[in-house]
Amino acid sequence: MMISPASYIDKFEDAEYLQLIEERDRLLAFIKDYEEKDIAGDRSGEEWSIHPQPDVRYQMYLEYLGELCNLMKEKYNTDYVWGDRKLSEDAK
């Protein structure tokens, strides 16, 4: 069962920006992999016997990605544009 985009994003409200980048990359990896397989017509993997199936996960991950990007924008502005943090320092 998939959770709502609002419930999904609630899990990341207190996350550090670098954690948000990791989650964004995880979502994008799934999205890209799904698209490549779907374009190729490949629905032969085991994941098609698990619910929710990849096509449902794909749609939900797109929604999650939209919410995550909004949160990232807000957090980036607050911490790095208006705040005194630097990504180069946080990445160390």
Q: Which of 36, 53, 65, 44 is nearest to 2 (CA)?
A: 53
Number of domains the chain is built from: 1
| Domain presence at residue 23 | yes
C-alpha 39/C-alpha 35 separation (Å) is 6
| Domain presence at residue 77 | yes
Domain span including residue 39: 16-86
| Domain presence at residue 50 | yes
**pTM metric for this prediction:** 0.90
- 32-56 per-position pLDDT tens digit: 999 999 999 999 889 898 899 999 9
| Domain presence at residue 4 | no
| Domain presence at residue 91 | no
C-alpha 19/C-alpha 13 separation (Å) is 11
- 14-24 per-position pLDDT tens digit: 999 999 999 99
CB-based contact 72:17 (threshold 8 Å) = yes
- CB-side exposure of 4: number of CA atoms within 13 Å? 3
| Domain presence at residue 69 | yes
